[in-house]
Amino acid sequence: MKKLSRTYSIICMWLCVMSISSRSSAQEYNWLIQDAERLYHQGLFDEAIIACERYAYFSSDQKLKHAALLIEAKAFQQKGNYKYSSNILLSIPRILLDKHVKSLIDFNLALNSFLDGYYDEAQVYLDNCDTTVMDYSERNNYELIRLFNLCYLEKWQEASVLVNDSPFISDSLKKELIQLLNKPPKLLNQKRLEWFSRIIPGSGQIFSGYYVEGISSFLLCSGSLALGGLLLINKFYFSAYVLGAGSLYAFYYGGIRRLNEITQTENQNRKQLFIATIKSKLTE
């Protein structure tokens, strides 16, 4: 009987210790996520990531675990690792999440895509956001990113409508921005310039303002064609094929690839300058 009583006492003591331990562990885990948020706002992103990883590993509270993953994703976003940040956000199950958290996830996915240069993808995530559950600051940030993304997508009319309907912009500033959006930057027509270069090699670069590259491309293609013709006349057929046709092919299509790079870079730079002008108007 004494043996049973002693065993019962040991079991009760063990259960009591485990109960105290589990309560202290839960408190420690809650402290970890609060610390992670504090570290994030202080700009200590690596430390915040470590705290979030510890919490996500040890805690069984799904709601707070999702909050930790969201902080971790935002920390990676601040470090410039947009792809990894998006992977973390996409790993969060959405079944039991409320609308606000879902919208925050979609917004940060859109922000990652925008910062990484995937503007079509960013627009999809922005369209998924429910702005009715966002607070004032979140809604303001959402509209800014949406405005800039529409500019990169060259959707000037939609951008004008967004500015006109925005409650965050004064009436006088709305007029200035709409006037600006009605005169978008003049962008290079990539298809037309490529068509020019296919007819006359280098002409696309010349129309783009890259005169040296355009003239060089024309001379290289002309020289390759002349060399191939000369070798062919002298019956050096293999040399004409390798040196003439081979060089012409390389310079001709190389020039077109270079033209596409020029138009993409030039258009991107012009859009960035235009968006910088909009930003300066908004921060005045």
Distance CA 278, CA 19 (A): 58
Together in a domain, 152 and 194: no
User: Is 67 inside a domain boundary?
Assistant: yes
Together in a domain, 211 and 124: no
106: tokens are 């979609």
| pLDDT confidence of residue 28 | 54
Distance CA 121, CA 137 (A): 23
Distance CA 278, CA 284 (A): 10
Q: What range does the domain containing 168 cover?
A: 99-184
Closest to 40 measured CA to CA, from 28, 55, 61: 55
Number of domains the chain contains: 3
The residue-averaged pLDDT of 53-69 equals 76
Give the end of a domain, one of 55, 73, 92: 92
pLDDT tens column, 118-164 = 999 999 999 999 888 999 999 999 999 999 999 999 999 999 999 99
**pLDDT greater at residue 61 or residue 9:** 61
pLDDT tens column, 232-257 = 888 777 877 777 788 888 888 998 99
| pLDDT confidence of residue 30 | 66
Q: Are 234 and 156 in contact (CB under 8 A)?
A: no
Mean pLDDT score of the chain: 83
The residue-averaged pLDDT of 172-177 equals 90
| pLDDT confidence of residue 3 | 45
